[in-house]
Structure 1
Amino acid sequence: MRVTPDAPAAENAVDTTDQRAVRMDKRTRLMEKGVAPYPVTVPRTASLAAVREQFDGQVEAGDSTGETVSITGRVMFIRNTGKLCFATLQESGPRGEAVRLQAMISMAEVGEDALADWKALVDLGDYIQVSGEVIASRRGELSVMASSFAVASKALRPLPVLHADLNEETRVRQRYADLIVRDEARQMVHTRSAVTRAIRDTLHQRDYVEVETPILQLLHGGAQARPFQTHLHAFDQPMTLRIATELYLKRAVVGGIDRVFEIGRVFRNEGVDSTHSPEFTTLESYESWADMYTMAERMREMILAAADAAEIGRQIPTEAGTVDLDGEWAWMSVYPGLSEALGQEITPETDEQTLRAVAEERGVSVAADWDAQKLVMELFGEIVEPTLLQPTFVCDYPPAAQPLAREHRDKPGVIEAWDLIIAGSELGTAFSELIDPVVQRERFVEQSRKAAAGDEEAMQLDEDFLRALEYGAPPMGGLGLGIDRLVMLFTGTGIRETILFPLLKPEAKDS
């Protein structure tokens, strides 16, 4: 049987159910021979990568090294001939790339019975262990000539055929299979890990403290989003899954943890598409004696460090053009930016009727109950944001955009907050944080009115958070960064590819 890593077709020509039955029979036969098909451990003295690093280019065709190793790996290729069989073993390298090494099983080395067992009982997908001398085959392929071998884990399903069996839906639903056969899937895991590690390291270098805050919460707040509802039986108490980490992190700052951050999952019961997932990962950080400008510097530092760690360079190709992370990170005020795009002046005093006329003229869909501030945000998001290719801090939003941001120190009618837009997509946001408990209560009360009127995304009034602010909070800046969105930018993929195991609809049942 000869199969390449991209097309284990000989086995897949057989119905998967039939093939599983064949493999189950081989598992039984192993056990009847007194061989454990899933042993606790097997001898292993070197990784495949270590063998390659030590011997690649050092052995001439047909020569041997005199070095004996015990290696392990998944069988990705197998060719059984008369007295000499070949198998390619695979493991994952340090960046998720496939590392492969050939094993040779010769009757002269292992004996007739063992060779027969190899041919009869070992399949593609099995994890096996091989002990033997490192040699180069007659064709010059670095190999291990087996003196013995063992099944380390018997695979009961055939490997998927890369292009026939793994469409996008199957890849995300059966990510384990995707990881086996596709280097890109494993590399995505390593890229995301490198990005997260770089962000964490950057903050640690700035003397931030990493903390954990509750995921189950009595009240939802810190963002305007529809929460997931659940119930705590111990207290007979309705609960929500957090939509943000903000309010608890600010409590920590009140308590004297001057620089604090958390990287974790948040949950929003909203739409699912190529850029949105009901559960996703955010970084939130808060820094005493900082403002939105300080947090812009922090954001740039983290993204540059993440790009370097991911080894993707600082010029990032996108469908809209090349993003230059080494270039200028511009600032754009919402009202002037919208005015320039429209060719007419829009200010915080522009009335709702005028804005609705603009929306109709530009074909922007708006709701009947939106006020002037919401209309401005929608118009900017639909008309201006998609045109922003290079990193841009969009700032000076109307107050309705962020109920937890303070009013601008110099500009009436706007707040000290920005969204970072790159390649037309929002990656993160930051504020000069509102710390006045009286004004914050007023904002919460207004949110409560919206909730009572049917706004499912409005925040709840959090009396404990207000009590914390009444103890006195230092001036602070805060930011939030979508980890998934950042990885999407770096890799040019949709959000489901960046999340290892994304939320999916239930698998369709056969009728």
Structure 2
Amino acid sequence: MAEEQKNSAPQTEQELSELLRLRREKLAALQEAGEDPFQQTRFAWDATSRQIKENFDAMEGQSVKVAGRLMSKRGMGKVSFCDLQDRDGRIQLYARQDEMDEAVYKKFKKFDIGDIVGVDGEVFRTQRGEMSVRAKDITLLSKSLLPLPEKFHGLQDKELRYRQRYVDLIMNPEVKRNFIIRSQFIKHVRNFMDARGYMEVETPVLNTISGGATAKPFITHHNTLDLDMYMRIATELPLKRLIVGGLDRVYEIGRIFRNEGMDPKHNPEFTTIELYQAYADFNDMMDLFEDLLSSAAKEILGTYELEWQGEKLDLTPGWPRLTMAEAVKQYVGIDFMAIDSDAEAVAAAKAHGVELPETADKTWGNALYECFDQKVEEKLIQPTFITMHPVDVSPLAKRSPKDPRLTERFELFVCRSEMGNAFSELNDPIDQKGRFQKQVELRDKGDDEAGMMDEDYITALEYGLPPTGGLGIGIDRCVMMLTNSDSIRDVILFPTMKPL
């Protein structure tokens, strides 16, 4: 049985077994002849498919060396056509027996789809007008022992794409594009921050306490110290210590770990950028965030207009800014600024079908926040800043001088998704210790997402934290938006998966 030379997946277990046997026999024959492809060490390619296509007029007739994976083979008589896929895309190969060494051509005829080859040839255009490389010599650089699927993206089990990302990347150009855009976005972020005088730093992933966010941490154990440690749920508190130390503008791009549920917007490990600027406030952070995200879209996609989750978005700067109370009044109909008591606020929320979590105190601030979270967030499509969050849900943000129930905090929402969170940072050590204590009390009541007391951070604040603006941005969600991806798994190369 000869293996078919076209991009088709085996239909049965028996066919797959036969293909695997044939490929291994081919490998064994090569090794016995002293031509083991796995002994090849390098191939000095000098052109890619994109370079050839974009510069064809100048390169036509020139000798080139290209390398990549065979994705199809047609012909196989005295003339063969193949599609070679490299890092930039695909280019057609034209191989003719009377234009190559006969022994090389015979070996080439036995190559399989998926094999990785190096080609020495000449740039030309076929009679049908297709830009191609006329092969003079073809070297087998690595043997593919498993057949490629015909349409990997068409498999019913979508999770297989995430488990075998290497095959997903081979078969689906749009998947590779997602991760190219991700890389471009992170590069844009770094350039943007560096140009504004920020210093990139690194802070610990393992900590003796969990802090900086409201989230359930992963717990591990350090054997030498015989000490439980927490994988970081945020980079906030170490970065603000650096502001205390005089590094006035700092940022960190890094992995965050939260022991929480998994859904299209959440993965247990994800990437954020957190940045802090001395002598700034949350208004400065809003300006910076709007500039960062809109300029990224313009630079990477060439437009402020894009589509995400079936919605047409416009990232042209000048995004709406609403207080949380204004948003709840507009979308729910409750005017929390006209309510004075906790009981009245909780009752108003309940009348609109909003229940407070059992672990939450029945306060004005928690009622306002739950009304927003349960009734408003889902309605925010175009980029919108929601500001002035209640103190009850903002343990690290500075109180508003106009209303001590509120904080100088904002979140940016796009297409029903929170993209980032920012504060005018709380720098009063006495107030901060009281809020930490409140978090400890919630933790004692069973809220395992509540924060812990961080005595060293209080000590740092007692030395003096200047007025500071801070901002945390979800890198993955920004990339989801820029790539029109529905799931966070589509923008993380190796998302967390349950073992088979």
Report whether the alignment pairs 1:389 with 2:381.
yes
* CA shift in 2, pair 1:107/1:322, >3 Å: closer
Deviates more, 1:9-18 or 1:79-88: 9-18
* CA shift in 2, pair 1:384/1:43, >3 Å: closer
* CA shift in 2, pair 1:40/1:397, >3 Å: same
User: Which deviations, in whole Å up to 9, do the C-alpha atoms of 1:207-258 show, x marking residues without a partner?
Assistant: 0000000001111100010000000112111001000000000111111100
**Secondary structure of the structure 2 residue equivalent to 1:397:** coil
Q: 1:499 aligns with which of 492, 495, 500?
A: 492
Structure 2 Cα separation of the partners of residues 10 and 335 of structure 1: 57
* CA shift in 2, pair 1:347/1:17, >3 Å: farther
Structure 1 Cα separation of the partners of residues 106 and 143 of structure 2: 17
Counterpart of 2:45?
44
Counterpart of 1:27?
27
Structure 2 Cα separation of the partners of residues 361 and 221 of structure 1: 35
Structure 2 Cα separation of the partners of residues 244 and 10 of structure 1: 45
User: Which deviations, in whole Å up to 9, do the C-alpha atoms of 1:28-85 show, x marking residues without a partner?
Assistant: 11111211312111242322333333325986xxxxx2x3222211101101432122
Counterpart of 1:129?
118
* CA shift in 2, pair 1:477/1:10, >3 Å: closer
* CA shift in 2, pair 1:352/1:210, >3 Å: same
Deviates more, 1:486-495 or 1:448-457: 486-495
Letter in 1 for 2:85: Q
Counterpart of 2:16?
16
Q: Are the aligned partners of 1:405 and 1:417 in contact in 2 as well (CA < 8 Å)? A: yes
Counterpart of 2:390?
398
Structure 2 Cα separation of the partners of residues 388 and 45 of structure 1: 49
In the alignment, structure 1 segments of 5+ residues that lack a partner are: 60-64
* CA shift in 2, pair 1:345/1:141, >3 Å: closer
Map residues 163-242 of structure 1 onto 2, 5 A cutoff.
163-165=153-155, 167-242=157-232
Report whether the alignment pairs 1:84 with 2:79.
yes
User: Which deviations, in whole Å up to 9, do the C-alpha atoms of 1:259-294 show, x marking residues without a partner?
Assistant: 000011101111110111111111100000000101
Letter in 1 for 2:8: A
* CA shift in 2, pair 1:361/1:212, >3 Å: same
User: Post-superposition shift, 1:351?
Assistant: 4.3
**Secondary structure of the structure 1 residue equivalent to 2:337:** coil
**Secondary structure of the structure 2 residue equivalent to 1:27:** helix
**Secondary structure of the structure 1 residue equivalent to 2:494:** coil
User: Post-superposition shift, 1:386?
Assistant: 1.7
User: Post-superposition shift, 1:117?
Assistant: 1.7
**Secondary structure of the structure 1 residue equivalent to 2:19:** helix
* CA shift in 2, pair 1:182/1:242, >3 Å: same
Counterpart of 1:297?
287
Structure 1 Cα separation of the partners of residues 210 and 18 of structure 2: 51
Letter in 1 for 2:433: R
Map residues 133-148 of structure 1 onto 2, 5 A cutoff.
133-148=122-137
User: Which deviations, in whole Å up to 9, do the C-alpha atoms of 1:124-170 show, x marking residues without a partner?
Assistant: 11110111233333333333222221101111111122244474211
* CA shift in 2, pair 1:37/1:272, >3 Å: same
Letter in 1 for 2:462: E
TM-score (norm 2): 0.93
Q: Are the aligned partners of 1:86 and 1:103 in contact in 2 as well (CA < 8 Å)? A: yes
TM-score (norm 1): 0.91
User: Post-superposition shift, 1:347?
Assistant: 3.4
Counterpart of 2:453?
461
Letter in 1 for 2:257: F
Q: How many residues align?
A: 492
Report whether the alignment pairs 1:424 with 2:423.
no
User: Post-superposition shift, 1:380?
Assistant: 0.7
Letter in 1 for 2:124: I
Map residues 289-368 of structure 1 onto 2, 5 A cutoff.
289-311=279-301, 313-319=303-309, 321-326=311-316, 328-347=318-337, 349-368=339-358
Report whether the alignment pairs 1:433 with 2:432.
no
User: Which deviations, in whole Å up to 9, do the C-alpha atoms of 1:370-418 show, x marking residues without a partner?
Assistant: 3222232111112112222222211111101110011102223111111
* CA shift in 2, pair 1:475/1:158, >3 Å: same
Q: Are the aligned partners of 2:291 and 2:317 in contact in 1 as well (CA < 8 Å)? A: no
Q: Are the aligned partners of 2:339 and 2:345 in contact in 1 as well (CA < 8 Å)? A: no
**Secondary structure of the structure 2 residue equivalent to 1:338:** helix
Q: Are the aligned partners of 1:417 and 1:432 in contact in 2 as well (CA < 8 Å)? A: yes
Q: Are the aligned partners of 1:394 and 1:419 in contact in 2 as well (CA < 8 Å)? A: yes
Counterpart of 1:450?
442
Deviates more, 1:169-178 or 1:484-493: 484-493
In the alignment, structure 2 segments of 5+ residues that lack a partner are: none
User: Post-superposition shift, 1:449?
Assistant: 1.3
Structure 2 Cα separation of the partners of residues 20 and 483 of structure 1: 41
Q: Are the aligned partners of 2:203 and 2:235 in contact in 1 as well (CA < 8 Å)? A: yes
- Percent pairwise identity: 38
User: Which deviations, in whole Å up to 9, do the C-alpha atoms of 1:162-186 show, x marking residues without a partner?
Assistant: 2444742111111111100111100
The two structures, once aligned, show a CA RMSD in angstroms of 2.2
Map residues 253-292 of structure 1 onto 2, 5 A cutoff.
253-292=243-282
Deviates more, 1:419-428 or 1:221-230: 419-428
User: Post-superposition shift, 1:349?
Assistant: 4.9
Deviates more, 1:262-271 or 1:106-115: 106-115
Deviates more, 1:248-257 or 1:467-476: 467-476
User: Which deviations, in whole Å up to 9, do the C-alpha atoms of 1:84-137 show, x marking residues without a partner?
Assistant: 2221111122xxxx2x222222221234333222222x1111110111233333
User: Post-superposition shift, 1:467?
Assistant: 1.4
Structure 1 Cα separation of the partners of residues 58 and 243 of structure 2: 57
* CA shift in 2, pair 1:339/1:32, >3 Å: same
Counterpart of 1:62?
none
Deviates more, 1:383-392 or 1:198-207: 383-392
Letter in 2 for 1:475: P
Letter in 2 for 1:24: R
Structure 1 Cα separation of the partners of residues 42 and 308 of structure 2: 46
